[in-house]
Amino acid sequence: MNLRQIEVFRAVMLAGTVTEAARVLRVSQPAVSRLLRYTEDKLGMPLFKRTKGRLYPTEQAHMLYQEVEKVYNGVRLVQDVAHELAESRTGRLRIVASPSLGLTFVPKAIALFRRQRERVKISLEILPQALLVDQIATHQADLGISMFPVDHPTIETYPLGTGRLVCIAPIGHPVGELDIVRPGDLTGYPLISFDRSTPQGLMVDDAFIAAGVARQIAIEVRFGQTACALVQQGAGVALVDEFSVMHDAFPGIVARPFEADAKFTITMIHDRFRPLSVVGGVFHGILGDLAKAFSTEPTDT
């Protein structure tokens, strides 16, 4: 029995008459009668006894109906899943993100996304910049969120917004009382700063060079969250991207604007030869809205 035969057989079983089954299926009565007789001929057994215009299922029909219901429910499940995929309510989304964004900005976006699409399965991995790009290029992730622009021949980039460097200090520290922190204001305090080989480290270096102040690092770190944790424990003051301290991720520290031309660009990336899925496109929109609400200079998505 093919799916159409199953559908007609089920309709007749439920309706009790060919006329009512035809109405439910929105086809003609002769069409239902012909397909029903054809099915009985192919099976080599009667499925119904015909008495005074009504159909009475045989014992074989009742047994067959039990199995038909299982198939029909399976088909309905496939239809429901297909509909949900089209409506972006289910599916899978593999995300990679740089540390500063992956521990603050991206979790906020995921929480907003799941309020409407809780059946979408999401995986999130925090990676350094080079590994993040590699995951997208090798199709191990669907999209990435980076704090820096990406230049790669197979990767499409979407700038979402910008952010700046901020100076962080323990609550009550003299630096926390300043409206704007300048490189010279940090002289004499233990400075927690980025490794000079990182993009953040180069930005901090440029700011100190422009101000004519030597950058003397007391504690060197690679990620903004590490610097925040150290400041939280009173180990010194630090310069980090403002995404690292968004949503009050580290109680006990205060953040102040830092005088520098350097800006970070929130960038979403994906494989240019693999268009985003429907759920990926929806998540992209949420990232853009969140970035616009947060960024100092939002850009079009």
In the chain, the percentage of residues whose pLDDT exceeds 70 is: 93
**CATH class name, domain 92-301:** alpha beta
Of 206 and 197, more confident: 206
Of 288 and 296, more confident: 288
pTM score of the predicted model: 0.65
pLDDT of residue 289: 92
Separation CA 276–CA 159 (nearest Å): 16
Of 238 and 162, more confident: 238
- pLDDT at position 301 over 50: no
Q: CA dist 171 to 33, 190, 254, Å?
A: 83, 15, 6
Looking at residue 182, the DSSP 8-state letter turns out to be -
In the chain, the percentage of residues whose pLDDT exceeds 90 is: 52
Separation CA 245–CA 140 (nearest Å): 29
pLDDT of residue 81: 63
The domain made up of 3-86 is a member of CATH 2.30.30.90:
no
Report the SS3 class of residue 1: coil
Note every long-range contact of 28-33, with CB atoms under 8 Å and residues 24 or more positions apart, other chains counting: 32/8
- pLDDT at position 197 over 80: no
Report the SS3 class of residue 213: coil
pLDDT of residue 283: 94
Give me 198's structure tokens. Answer: 């990182």
pLDDT of residue 129: 83
For the chain, domain boundaries: 3-86, 92-301
pLDDT of residue 296: 47
What are the tens digits of pLDDT across the range 68-117?
A: 888 887 777 677 667 656 655 557 899 999 988 998 899 999 999 999 88
Over range 187-214, report the average pLDDT: 89
Give me 4's structure tokens. Answer: 């159409």
In this structure, what are the phi and psi dihedrals at residue 206, rounded to the nearest 5 degrees? -60, -40
- pLDDT at position 299 over 90: no
Separation CA 33–CA 47 (nearest Å): 12
pLDDT of residue 69: 86
pLDDT of residue 85: 60
* Cβ atoms of residues 154 and 273 within 8 Å: yes
Rounded to 5 degrees, what angle do the CA atoms 264, 268, 112 make? 100
What are the tens digits of pLDDT across the range 250-291?
A: 899 999 999 988 788 899 999 998 888 888 999 999 999 988
In this structure, what are the phi and psi dihedrals at residue 128, rounded to the nearest 5 degrees? -65, 165
Over range 207-233, report the average pLDDT: 92
